[in-house]
Structure 1
Amino acid sequence: MPRRAAPHRGIDTEQADPDAPSKTRLKAESQALQTLGRELCDLPGSHLAATEMPEALREAIQTWQRTASHEGRRRQLQYVGKLMRSADPEPLREAVAAFKLGGARDAWRLHEAERWRERLIADDEAMTQWMAEYPDCDTQRLRSLVRAARRDSAALTPEQRQPKSFRELFQFIRPLLPESPPA
């Protein structure tokens, strides 16, 4: 009589769902949610308060922020990950991305203000372009700041230059620029 192969232990071929996600995929998704939970824990309180999330998750994150011990934080992060599985991750991902992009937007505004300052000091045509883009600015004040900055840049040595006029021009330009780069 031929010998039959032993059935696979733990797998019932009649009950196995071919469309069910694999154990590896479930574990990877859980790990991704826990990583997102960690990023949420690192958000400052003001951004956390403005983010839409279940109240239990918010309390768990606040508990993590108050916990000082390493092991306590690790366990609390596991709990945050567990709560993340029942929450909608999309608005939470958007909140984290918006917080991370905030620094990039600020850097863009700084660089843009520096570029405009250099252009205004170097070229009269830049003044015309500025007036076309920002017609509501105080033209007289801008012209006087540009004149002072040009006078200081014409100084012979760096020791004779006064950085005050450069700084004032920068501080005049920066609030007038848009919050984010044009699309």
Structure 2
Amino acid sequence: MRGRDEETGEFLDISRSQNRRDALDVLALGEKLVSLTPAQLARVPVPEDLLPHIAEAKRITAHIAHKRQLAFLAKHMRREDEATLDAIRDALDVNSETSRREVAALHRAEDWRERLLKDGDKALSTLLEEYPQADRQQLRTLVRNAQAERAKNKPPRAFRELYQVLRALFVPAALGLDAVASDSDADADDLDDDSND
């Protein structure tokens, strides 16, 4: 029995149903952690003592054994304070938003590659208006070579390289890394100026 407050009649402890909902929430959080790639997991503030349990859950593939290991991971996660679990949830939300933006930027690179191959200089001019930092000559050469490869049924070397160049242009912009890089460059310049004084 949980007991009740004699004055208000409210329960003194959390209900078993709420405890179960909380436990299932932590289990779902553990499943998300296990599904992450090592690079994604590195960006999440997971306590060191949980990492071996996550690695073990990734390693085990047998269905029942995997479920048992997930439950064991969740048991250890429930021992962490709520602030740690909230930090993990927040990081996973940021990672999912970042992933969505990155995928959208990759699709955009594919679309622009097709536009450049179809419309040539007209599409290139539009692209350069939007991204003036892009290398006009490199893009023009890659478009020309990719069109020639298609016409002669050659391996798509320039086609792939064009995608890589467009990807390098779109992904940092989508993730907001251009502003971060320029800010860090400005900070580095300030440090150089200070050291010269």
Q: Same fold (TM over 0.5)?
A: yes
Q: 59-68 or 27-36, which moves further after superposition?
A: 59-68
Tell me whether 1:33 sits opposite 2:15 in the alignment.
Answer: no
Distance 1:133 1:86, change over 3 A: same
1:33-182 to 2 correspondences below 5 Å = 33-67=26-60, 71-87=64-80, 88-100=84-96, 104-121=100-117, 122=119, 124-150=121-147, 160-162=152-154, 164=156, 165-179=158-172, 181=174
- Kindly indicate whether the alpha-carbon contact (under 8 Å) linking 1:105 and 1:179 is maintained by their aligned counterparts in 2: no
Aligned mates of 2:148, 2:137 — CA distance in 1: 17
Larger helix fraction of residues? 2
1:91 aligned partner, one-letter code: A
Aligned mates of 1:21, 1:180 — CA distance in 2: 47
Distance 1:90 1:179, change over 3 A: farther
Distance 1:20 1:175, change over 3 A: same
What SS does structure 1 have at the residue aligned with 2:134? Answer: coil
For these two proteins, the number of residue pairs brought into alignment is 169
Gaps of 5+ in 2: 177-197
Structure scoring higher RCO (CA < 8 A, sep ≥ 6) equals 1
How big is the alpha-carbon RMSD for the aligned residues of Structure 1 and Structure 2?
3.4
Rg larger for: 1
Gaps of 5+ in 1: 1-9
Q: What is the aligned-residue identity percentage?
A: 31
Deviation at 1:30, TM superposition (A): 0.9
- Kindly indicate whether the alpha-carbon contact (under 8 Å) linking 2:106 and 2:170 is maintained by their aligned counterparts in 1: no
Deviation at 1:145, TM superposition (A): 2.6
Q: 117-126 or 144-153, which moves further after superposition?
A: 144-153
